[in-house]
Amino acid sequence: KAGVTQTPRYLIKTRGQQVTLSCSPISGHRSVSWYQQTPGQGLQFLFEYFSETQRNKGNFPGRFSGRQFSNSRSEMNVSTLELGDSALYLCASSLDGGRSTDTQYFGPGTRLTVL
């Protein structure tokens, strides 16, 4: 079974631009969570989608948004990029997401660099 895929793998943008990242979960998985990983803050939860609905949101500004499509694929968008947005963005999928016990499997990540 194919794992979680993320595109693009690498991205370079300049301040003020916006960016869209894509995530395809493992086949059959309905929950997609997004995380930001930086050397200083570690892995931080952005938001989680299930059945095209955002169910949970972390403590990030409104510039960070996302959506999920009917095939469970998800996108996240960051508008008005700041230097501090440079990070590894990770997507994780889980089978149901309805329980905190569900195991999350991570994709390879998108490395975003903001200049």
Partner 1 sequence: QKEVEQNSGPLSVPEGAIASLNCTYSDRGSQSFFWYRQYSGKSPELIMSIYSNGDKEDGRFTAQLNKASQYVSLLIRDSQPSDSATYLCAVGGRSQGNLIFGKGTKLSVKP
53 is a contact residue toward partner 1 (CB under 8 A): no
Interface map 28-47 toward partner 1 (x if CB under 8 A): ---x-x-x------xxxx--
Token pair listed for 10: 């690498």
Least separation, in Å, of the C-beta of 94 and partner 1?
A: 7
99 is a contact residue toward partner 1 (CB under 8 A): yes
Q: Is 23 helix (H, G, I), strand (E, B) or coil?
A: strand
21 is a contact residue toward partner 1 (CB under 8 A): no
Number of residues lying near partner 1 (CB under 8 A): 30
88-99 exposure pattern, b = at least 16 Cβ within 10 A, e = fewer: ebbbbbbbebee
How many angstroms separate the CA atoms of 107 and 115, rounded?
A: 25
60 is a contact residue toward partner 1 (CB under 8 A): no
3-state helix, strand, coil in the chain (%, to 5): 5, 50, 45
Q: Summarize as ranges the residues that interact with partner 1 (CB under 8 A).
A: 31, 33, 35, 42-45, 48-50, 55-56, 58, 88, 90, 92, 94, 97-109
